[in-house]
Structure 1
Amino acid sequence: MFGRRKKDQADAEIEGADVVDGADTSDEGAASADEGTGFDRSSGPWDASERDVPEDDPTYVDAGAMIVRGRAGLDLQIPTDPQTGVATSVVALAEESAVELRAFAAPRHSGLWDDIRPEIIAEVKRVGGTVEEVESSFGLELRVEVPVQAPDGRQGVQASRIIGVDGPRWLLRATFMGKLGASADPDSVLEQAVRDVVVVRGDAPMPPREQIPIVVPAGAVRADAETKEA
């Protein structure tokens, strides 16, 4: 259903120069970005330098900033901004749950997750929600509840779990919603899908916190087109 970039293009992105924006892309630099997080990535998510994904394997979807492995029962969507047409994230859906995936550029010697968590906590409290830091299989995650108004006017609460995984010069942020927004399940299709993600940071200079661009794969089918055909 989706196309992938050629392997030589992906390889060129992860080779690059030794120093980019003062950020060493050697193995030493990669290790230092992970050491401060307290999260073991030995089971994923992965950096592009750590996984060689065959370009002819149709189970992998190349979305630019990340490569996502398809699984039975997993539906992948790439929302776009209605005004600009720019892809904003990768969303995976399964088992009455969804997870939104975004990847961001990060500094060489430190991760972003420890800096970003307090900002998310402050924003949740500002809108009248509650948030709790919980140790999970992805390290420290945020359990969030925010007030929402249903279409019929009734007030409710929306639960979500936000995780952040620091890698070599990148942060992968995943927001679980639906059933997995209320409670974790490490054996679920979606949590395993997050572990399978391969982040493609590339060697282009990027300021920390800038989102690594999402690219709609060649051959992707627009959801509104499917609806019209149905």
Structure 2
Amino acid sequence: MGLFGFGKKKHQDEDAAEAKAENKDETAAQAGDDAQAEAAEPHYPSEAVSEYEGRGEEYGPWDVNDENLIDYDMHLDLGAYYLPYLQGLMLRLKASRATQQILGATITYGSSSLEIEAFAAPKSSGLWDDMRADLLEANANATEQPGVFGTEVRLPVQLKGGKVFETRIVGVDGPRWMLRGIFSGKAAVLPADPETVALNHFFADVVVDRGEEPLAPRDLIPMHAPVAPAERKAAKAAAEGETAGKEHLKDIPDKPEGPFDSDQQVEVKTTLSRGPMFSEVR
């Protein structure tokens, strides 16, 4: 009986171990499926549409105050908007020669590029319809057609020497802003090309920060030099460290405001580290 009982327990332990292993495999497989499903979630409509619907709910570009905002902790902060990460991209910043104010960003990926600009827009209506109409009126060769971000403009640009450069211009309206993207290269003419898909995905994951500054419609939303995610986290940690453990002081009546003299003043300067991908042009 003792031997048979031991053998029975051994088989039960083996069966339990196998069941546990199977459950672990199933859990891992489910987690993998969930991760793939999350990665496969659409960031913009898969088919061309005339009206772009679902921005801020299902699709981007996003606003910093959207309820369903994506996680943008690892985005690059440029002031007017946050740019997502894309392996292999090159980033150039367009700046004014006179003031050195940053005006926009151009992303190059493979043989394609995407120029991004953020404009202030009226509270009551969007801006893209009017801007698109102006493009069509000013350029006889411009045409409009449905696209993954709604109605877009196809504009051929003639370069020196007679070469024609095709561009695809899209615009998405958000709360008091409009984000414009100018695609060129393969991303302008080959809808199914991997470069087009990657840059469409990139544009859809941009997060816009309009700010509260009064701006006239069509004014560019102010930008600043790039602030990397690590720099943002360090600045946030430093700010939180300055107030940590001092919460009780806020309730002291007639508490004087510091600093009291120059010896107590501390100036914190943050130097932006720029990698080789960041450069101002023009």
Verify same fold: TM over 0.5: yes
Letter in 2 for 1:38: E
Mapping for residues 130-209 of structure 1, pairs under 5 Å: 130-149=141-160, 154-185=161-192, 188-209=197-218
Letter in 2 for 1:82: R
The structure 2 residue matched to 1:85, chosen from 100, 107, 117, is 100
- Taking the aligned partners of 1:179 and 1:122, their CA distance within structure 2 comes to 26
Query: 2:52 — aligned with what?
Result: 39
- State TM-score, norm by structure 1: 0.71
- State TM-score, norm by structure 2: 0.59
- Taking the aligned partners of 2:99 and 2:219, their CA distance within structure 1 comes to 18
Note closer, same or farther for the CA distance 1:175–1:44 as it changes in structure 2 (3 Å cut). Answer: same
- Taking the aligned partners of 1:117 and 1:131, their CA distance within structure 2 comes to 10
Instruction: Give per-residue Cα distances to partners, 1:28-58, cap 9 Å, x unaligned.
Output: xxxxxxxxx931212111001023656xx4x
Q: In terms of Rg, which structure is larger?
A: 2
Q: Is the 8 A contact 1:74 1:189 kept in 2?
A: no
Note closer, same or farther for the CA distance 1:166–1:185 as it changes in structure 2 (3 Å cut). Answer: farther
- Taking the aligned partners of 1:156 and 1:100, their CA distance within structure 2 comes to 20
Note closer, same or farther for the CA distance 1:186–1:170 as it changes in structure 2 (3 Å cut). Answer: farther
Report the count of equivalent residues.
178
Q: Is the 8 A contact 1:185 1:191 kept in 2?
A: no
- Taking the aligned partners of 2:198 and 2:88, their CA distance within structure 1 comes to 8
Query: 1:64 — aligned with what?
Result: 79
- Taking the aligned partners of 1:98 and 1:64, their CA distance within structure 2 comes to 21
- Alignment of 1:75 with 2:90, yes or no, is yes
- Taking the aligned partners of 1:185 and 1:216, their CA distance within structure 2 comes to 33
RMSD: 2.2
Structure with the higher fraction of residues in strand conformation: 1
- Taking the aligned partners of 1:84 and 1:221, their CA distance within structure 2 comes to 22
Q: Which runs of 5+ in 2 are unaligned?
A: 1-49, 227-271
Among the aligned pairs, what percent are the same residue? Answer: 34
Query: 1:11 — aligned with what?
Result: none
Query: Could you tell me how far 1:200 is from its partner in structure 2?
Result: 0.3
Query: Could you tell me how far 1:182 is from its partner in structure 2?
Result: 2.3
Q: Is the 8 A contact 1:124 1:146 kept in 2?
A: no
Structure with the higher fraction of residues in helix conformation: 2
Instruction: Give per-residue Cα distances to partners, 1:61-81, cap 9 Å, x unaligned.
Output: 000000011121222222222
Query: Could you tell me how far 1:112 is from its partner in structure 2?
Result: 0.4
